[in-house]
Structure 1
Amino acid sequence: MDWRSAIKGFQAYLKLEKSLSANSIEAYTRDIGRLYEFTETQDPKISPEKVVLADLRRFITWVNELGMIPSSQARILSGIKAFYKYLLMEDIIKSDPSELLESPKITRKLPDTLSYTDINKLIDAIDLSKPEGARNKAIMETLYGCGLRVSELTELKLSNLYLDIEFIKVFGKGSKERLVPIGGSAIKALKIWIEQVRVHNPIKKGEEDYVFLNRRGSRLSRVYIFMLIKDLALATGLKKTISPHTFRHSFATHLVEGGADLRAVQEMLGHESITTTEIYTHLDREYLKGTIIQFHPRN
């Protein structure tokens, strides 16, 4: 089997059987494309089913020489393992050459977070006199109040809002469904946007159920959310480089600092593994350490 056919079949598998998002499929495809690019440099060229463990080890060395950081190498490795798992399932190969391939050791970088004061400043900087002001306030309150990924926010639908019982239904990675509690501030902002402003906006056919729409009546793009946050950071003089994900990290960090159970935080964030959520316990330790250094009389 040639590489192009194998990659095309892998894409179909990720979409139809794993239900991955278009962004995830694109990332996997890009990583397998790097392996294909590497095999093109070999003499003779190696087809997917002829790749052995030694080839993959040489590939990882090649990736390392390109200057990729360990976390990027680990992500590429994850894609390769998924690719060869697919080839094994399809009986294209008889044994998995990636099975004994070791991931590079990576240090988990603690994500940037915002203080509650910073978040209030950003929300207060929204100009409510503008037509989009109510919508943008609802966006910011929902991002922080529910810890959503940016794609989960842009895909949020009216039919999945249960504001009377203070929950929203979210579809996360791999279209996995979860219920997330929503607090009073976010509910109030959403109701103002939906009931007082959105009802007067033109709505494009097929977009009627999406919560957040632009002035043309289409759902908002992820890029718009990034730009909104960047503009608010500039307006408030915030020096940190922040993104929609910063609000998700802040949501989780503030919960853990407040004593929330880690399993509950895992459920709200939609993490498949508790180990992903455990990074927020490290953040909590850093917060405690900083507090001691700042306020303890012997420091």
Structure 2
Amino acid sequence: MKSSWQSYIKNFQSYLKIERGLSKNSIENYTLDIEKLCKYLEEQSIEISPLKIKEETVQQFIYEISKDVNPRSQARVISGLKSFFNYLIFEDYRTDNPMELIETPRLGRKLPDTLSLEDIDKLIAAIDLSSNEGERNRAMLETLYGCGLRVSELVTLKISDLFFAEGFVKITGKGNKQRFVPISGLTQKYIEMYRKESRVHLPIQKGHEDTLFLNRRGKQLTRAMIFTIIRNLAAAIQLKKTISPHTFRHSFATHLLENGADLRSIQLMLGHESITTTEIYMHVDRKHLNQVMKAYHPRNN
């Protein structure tokens, strides 16, 4: 049965890559959503192709997974399957979408966790600079916080993307969209120290000559490795928050907003397609919004 799905999944992957320009990670997530449905059909001994599957079957599948996953994960699976069946309609394989009437669970808007500047300084101070990876880890965390990068953007950052004389780095974000992000002199200094004192001693592998941050074998770092480095540092300073690389990106945006940056500028630096995504930061610090009101509204003068 699975084979009857595989060719359609493969074609869908090509469509996501070529037509929609999605990243490898996004394509993998879409594929996982469809494979969850395939696994369910196998377990239930339901022999049906993606062209014939009916709403009742997918409805039952969504009901079953809702017992084991949180509403956010459930919403993602529904969204992924809707996209897959919309693709089949687009290619004239189907005339209807069996997900059409399936409702996405209501999600509360999750406010991003942020770190204070003091927290960030403590995390960076906890890095063992005497270790082989110390200079690299400091440069990476300064870049995450200083430029507000996604973890995927950090690990794929190229030396040829550094335009230090102009004060910018070129970032390739979601959907291969490129943007230029300002980089401070301090972050530039730590990157240069890493390049001159650590990176030059690595056995750089073919194909990774232009990759900025490398592992000890001279290859591009994995996203998982960045998560591990950050969690180990959090444990070392006994930080009570659960943090990830994305926490530095949230902190970058929140601190800019708190210090008076406008949302449009933050949107451009983060590479958000819609200002609505950036607006989540307006909900983070209401004390800041009160200060803005008192300082700038004419009725307060």
**What is the aligned partner in structure 1 of residue 278 from structure 2?**
277
Q: Which amino acid aligns with 1:70?
A: P
Which residue is 1:297 aligned to?
A: none
Find the residue that maps to 1:24 and give its secondary structure: helix
Q: Secondary structure at the match of 2:180?
A: strand
Note the C-alpha offset of 1:116.
0.6
CA distance 1:128–1:91, shift in 2 (3 Å)? same
Q: How does 1:45-60 map to 2 (within 5 A)?
A: 45-60=47-62
CA distance in 2, matches of 1:236, 1:43: 51
- Structure 1 unaligned spans of 5+: 290-299
1:62 pairs, out of 54, 61, 64, with 64
Cα distance in 2, alignment partners of residues 55 and 222 from structure 1: 36
* Matched residue type, 1:243: S
Q: What does residue range 157-196 of structure 1 map to in structure 2 within 5 Å? A: 157-196=158-197
C-alpha contact 1:172 1:270 (8 A) present in aligned 2: yes
What is the match of residue 105 of structure 1? 106
Moved more, 47-56 or 133-142: 47-56
Q: Which amino acid aligns with 1:20?
A: L
1:18–1:102 distance in 2 versus 1, CA, 3 Å: same
Distance verdict in 2 for CA 1:123–1:50, change over 3 Å:
same
| Amino acid aligned to 1:189 | Y
8 A contact 1:160–1:170 mirrored in 2: yes
Alpha-carbon offset, residue 42 of structure 1: 6.1
Q: Relative to 1, partners in 2 of residues 1:254 and 1:206: Cα closer, same or farther, differing over 3 Å?
A: same
Q: Which runs of 5+ in 2 are unaligned?
A: 291-301
Contact 1:256 1:284 in 2 (8 A): no
- Equivalents in 2 of 1:231, 1:37: separation in Å? 35
Aligned to 1:265: 266
Counterparts of 1:205 and 1:106 in 2: how far apart (Å)?
A: 45
1:38-78 CA distance string (max 9 Å, x none): 444668643212234444333332322x2322111111111
1:8 maps to: 10
Please name the residue that 2:296 is paired with.
none
How much does 1:25 deviate? Answer: 1.7
For each residue in 1:150-197, what CA deviation from the matched residue of structure 2 results, as whole angstroms up to 9, or x when unmatched? 111111000011111111111112222111111122111111112343
Report the count of equivalent residues. 288
Aligned residue number for residue 77 of structure 2: 76
2:26 to 6, 24, 27: 24
Residues in 1 aligned to 2:21 and 2:137: alpha-carbon distance in whole angstroms: 30
Residues 207, 41 of structure 1: alpha-carbon distance in 2 compared, 3 angstrom cutoff: closer
**Distance change (3 Å), C-alpha of 1:133 and 1:40:** closer
1:261–1:13 distance in 2 versus 1, CA, 3 Å: same
Deviation at 1:141, TM superposition (A): 0.5
Local SS of the residue matching 2:284: helix
How many angstroms apart in 1 are the aligned matches of 2:131 and 2:236?
A: 15
The farther-off stretch of 277-286 and 146-155 is: 277-286
**Higher mean displacement: 68-77 or 190-199:** 190-199
C-alpha distance in 2 between matches for 1:218 and 1:52: 46
Q: CA RMSD in A?
A: 2.2
User: Could you tell which deviates more after superposition, 129-138 or 194-203?
Assistant: 194-203
Equivalence for 1:121: 122
Q: Deviations over 1:113-161 (max 9, x none)?
A: 1101110111122222333222111111001001111111111000011
Paired with 1:176 and 1:45, the residues of 2 have a C-alpha distance of: 40
Amino acid at match of 1:129: S
TM-score (structure 2 length as normaliser): 0.87
1:220 matched residue in structure 2: 221
TM-score by length of 1: 0.88
Q: Structure 2: which amino acid aligns with 1:17?
A: E
Q: Tell me how far 1:270 sits from its aligned partner.
A: 1.6
Shift of the alpha carbon at 1:28? 0.9
Structure-1 residue corresponding to 2:131: 130
* Equivalent AA in structure 1 for residue 191 of structure 2: L
Residues 40, 46 of structure 1: 8 Å contact kept: no
Q: Which moved more, 1:110-119 or 1:228-237?
A: 228-237
Describe the shift of the 1:68–1:130 C-alpha distance in structure 2 as closer, same or farther (beyond 3 A). closer
Q: 1: CA distance between counterparts of 2:223 and 2:44?
A: 39
Q: Distance in 2 between matches of 1:58 and 1:284?
A: 41
The amino acid that maps onto 2:91 is E
- Percent identity over the alignment is 57
Q: Which runs of 4+ in 1 moved over 4 A?
A: 40-44, 286-289
CA distance 1:133–1:43, change in 2 (3 Å)? closer
Mapped to 1, the partners of 2:271 and 2:216 lie a distance apart of 31
After TM superposition, the structure 1 stretch with the greater mean CA deviation from structure 2, 72-81 or 12-21, is: 12-21
Range with greater deviation from structure 2 (204-213 or 130-139): 130-139
